[in-house]
Amino acid sequence: PWRPRHILVTGGAGFIGANFVHWVAQHHPETHMTVLDLLTYAGKRESLEGVPNNQLTFVRGDICDAALVESLASPTGGMVGRGVPPVDAIVHFAAESHNDNAIADATPFLRTNVLGTHVLLEAARRHDLRFHHISTDEVYGDLPLPGESPDPDTDPSRATRFTEESPYRPSSPYAASKAAADHLVRAWHRTYGLRTTISNCSNNYGPYQHVEKYIPRQITNILCGRRPRLYGDGRAIRDWIHVADHCSAVWAILTRGAIGETYIVGADGERSNLEVLGGILQVMGRPADDFEHVTDRPGADRRYALAATKLKRDLQWHPEHTDFARGLEETIRWYADHESWWRGDKEGTERRYLRQGH
């Protein structure tokens, strides 16, 4: 089977990107990686500590910088020639990723998620690189909660879980920017024959996730002596997957996926926000009602649920970290043990939330 010899990993200092770089280092030590990351508020060089130096080149820079991207993607650019083979694939994680930030100001989301994806696609086209695009289930909009009437513009005949055939109907500015990027990738395959694949994954959890996201925010609130903050009624459902399972799925699709195809990535992890919070409070020895109710996002998505049937059937991928209680406990322990990793982000993040009423 085909194996990439040198991957350009965009956003490799972010949550999922860093987990992917560690995963590849562990499972495929023969593959070189160049990480291109702007180190925005969401990225940290430290998250890549422990990856062998001879397997990793780190470049701080912007995916919207066409000259820089060209220099890294070209067969004579970057580290190439110093014992490193030319880049043969781009795995594209870089994005503005947080819904609350997009609701406050979508400008950086359109720039990075849409224009940045275009810059990378053009470089991949010039050099005929394999291109894997990381996307989200949020492009499909949401599903009604069981027993709750669907909102008026929802088609009640829709399937009960998202599949690769679900229509695009993003509800939020972030989701709309990711949907736009997905459409560019599909068009570059159809029009120019670029060798692309797309994965649309559900909510990830695990180590190195920014404290603005739901699970790390609640864990670090408790570690700081603050109460967790639950949006709205807490009945919204997310389909949780451990980040390590997302990483193995990306590798399966990159190396064995059919060109031009989209794969849904999910691990049958549907849980309400209230249930997840209950688990965190229990593990951390707090009373079950020790949290605040705060205002929900405008237009908040109610339920995500994914059927990863195609990925399992065609590529024989299976999630391994399916014991959510255990994964949550390990994640709580990781944040307790890595306070220096997140402490510097906590105050600023909570100040931002206070301004947004969350």
DSSP structure class, residue 320 = S
Annotated catalytic residue: which of 37, 138, 142, 350?
Answer: 138
d(CA 98, CA 243): 17
Query: CB under 5 to 8 A by kind: which of ligand NAD, ligand TDX, none does 230 bind?
Result: ligand TDX
By C-beta, is 193 or 344 nearer to ligand NAD? 344
By C-beta, is 10 or 57 nearer to ligand NAD? 10
Q: Is 21 exposed, middle or buried (0-12, 13-18, 19+ CB in 10 A)?
A: buried
Name which position in 166, 204, 218, 220 contacts ligand NAD (CB under 6 A).
Answer: 204
> Rounded to the nearest whole angstrom, what is the least distance from the CB of residue 147 to ligand NAD in the complex?
26
Query: CB under 5 to 8 A by kind: which of ligand TDX, ligand NAD, none does 38 bind?
Result: ligand NAD
d(CA 157, CA 257): 30
In the chain, the amino acid numbered 137 is D
In the chain, the amino acid numbered 160 is T
> Rounded to the nearest whole angstrom, what is the least distance from the CB of residue 314 to ligand TDX in the complex?
23
> Rounded to the nearest whole angstrom, what is the least distance from the CB of residue 229 to ligand TDX in the complex?
4
C-beta separation of 275 from 338 below 8 A: no
Name which position in 203, 248, 262, 331 contacts ligand TDX (CB under 6 A).
Answer: 203
d(CA 207, CA 45): 14
C-beta separation of 121 from 131 below 8 A: yes
C-beta separation of 63 from 112 below 8 A: yes
Known catalytic membership, residue 138:
yes
Helix ranges, the chain (H):
15-27, 66-73, 99-104, 107-109, 117-127, 173-192, 214-223, 243-256, 273-283, 309-315, 324-337, 339-356
Q: Is 62 in the site for ligand NAD (CB under 6 A)?
A: yes
d(CA 183, CA 262): 11
Known catalytic membership, residue 174:
yes
Q: Is 22 in the site for ligand TDX (CB under 6 A)?
A: no
Q: Is 99 in the site for ligand TDX (CB under 6 A)?
A: yes
Name which position in 8, 16, 236, 244 contacts ligand NAD (CB under 6 A).
Answer: 16
> Rounded to the nearest whole angstrom, what is the least distance from the CB of residue 158 to ligand NAD in the complex?
21
Compute how many residues bind ligand NAD; rule: CB under 6 A.
31
d(CA 66, CA 16): 24
d(CA 309, CA 154): 24
Q: Which residue is nearest to ligand NAD (CB)?
A: 14
Query: CB under 5 to 8 A by kind: which of ligand NAD, ligand TDX, none does 231 bind?
Result: ligand TDX
> Rounded to the nearest whole angstrom, what is the least distance from the CB of residue 216 to ligand NAD in the complex?
10
Nearest one of 49, 171, 37, 46 to 93, comparing CA atoms:
37
Query: CB under 5 to 8 A by kind: which of ligand NAD, ligand TDX, none does 321 bind?
Result: none
d(CA 178, CA 116): 11
- C-alpha separations of 262 from 175, 186, 314 in Å: 17, 9, 12
Annotated catalytic residue: which of 137, 182, 212, 350?
Answer: 137
By C-beta, is 125 or 358 nearer to ligand TDX? 358
Active-site amino acid positions: 137-138, 174
Would you tell me which residues interact with ligand NAD (CB under 6 A)?
A: 10-11, 13-17, 36-40, 42-43, 62-64, 93-97, 112, 116, 134, 136, 178, 201, 203-204, 210
Would you tell me which residues interact with ligand TDX (CB under 6 A)?
A: 97-99, 136, 138, 203, 213-214, 217, 229-231, 236, 238, 273
